[in-house]
Amino acid sequence: MVAIRPFRGLRFDTPRVGQARDLLAPPYDVIDDAHRRELTGRSEFNCARLILPEGDGDARYDEGRRVFDALRERALVLDEAPCLYVYHQTFEVGGERFVRKGLICAMELTSFGEGQVRPHERTLAGPKADRLKLMRACDGHLELVFGMFSDPDKRWEAALTDQLGEPVLDDDFDGAHHTLFRVSDPGACAAVQEALASRAVYIADGHHRYETMCAFADELRSAGRAEAASMGMIYLSNLDDEGLVVLPTHRIVHGLESVNFSALLQGAAAHFEVSERSLPQTAAELAEALAPGEGGRATFGLTAPGSGILSVLRLRGDFDPAAAGLGELHPSLATLDVALLHELVLERGLGISKAAQAAKTNLKYFKSTEASIETAASSGGSAQLVCLMNATSVHDVVAVCDSGQVMPQKSTFFYPKIPTGLVFRALSDDEA
Dist CA 374 CA 376 (whole Å): 5
Check: CB of residue 63 under 8 Å from CB of residue 37. Answer: no
Report the sign of the C-alpha dihedral through residues 147, 161, 415, 172, in that order: negative
User: Which residues are registered as beta bridge partners of 88?
Assistant: 101, 179
Q: What is the pLDDT along the chain (432 residues), one digit of tens a residue?
A: 678 999 999 999 999 999 999 999 999 989 999 999 999 999 999 999 999 999 999 999 999 999 999 999 999 999 999 999 999 999 999 889 999 999 999 999 988 878 788 888 776 777 889 999 999 999 999 999 999 999 999 999 999 988 999 999 999 999 999 999 999 999 999 999 999 988 899 999 988 899 999 999 999 999 988 888 889 999 999 999 999 999 999 999 999 999 999 999 999 999 999 999 999 999 999 999 999 877 789 999 999 999 999 999 999 999 999 998 988 888 888 899 999 999 999 999 999 988 888 778 899 999 999 999 999 998 878 999 999 999 998 888 888 888 888 888 888 899 999 999 999 999 988 766
Query: How many C-beta atoms lie closer than 10 Å to residue 397's C-beta?
Result: 25
Measured between alpha carbons, how far apart are the two ends of the chain, in Å? 26
Dist CA 53 CA 330 (whole Å): 41
Among 318, 425, 340, 351, which residue's Cα sits nearest to residue 387?
340
What pLDDT shows up at residue 169?
Answer: 97
Dist CA 107 CA 237 (whole Å): 13
User: Half-sphere exposure of 158 toward its Cβ, with a 13 Å CA cutoff?
Assistant: 9
Check: CB of residue 196 under 8 Å from CB of residue 4. Answer: yes
Peptide bond connecting 127 to the previous residue in cis, omega within 30 degrees of 0: no
Residue ranges of domains in the chain:
4-245+416-431, 249-390
Tally: H helices and E strands in the chain: 17, 21
What pLDDT shows up at residue 417?
Answer: 94
Question: Vertex 249, ends 246 and 251: CA angle to 5°?
Answer: 165
Among 31, 130, 150, 16, which residue's Cα sits nearest to residue 76?
16
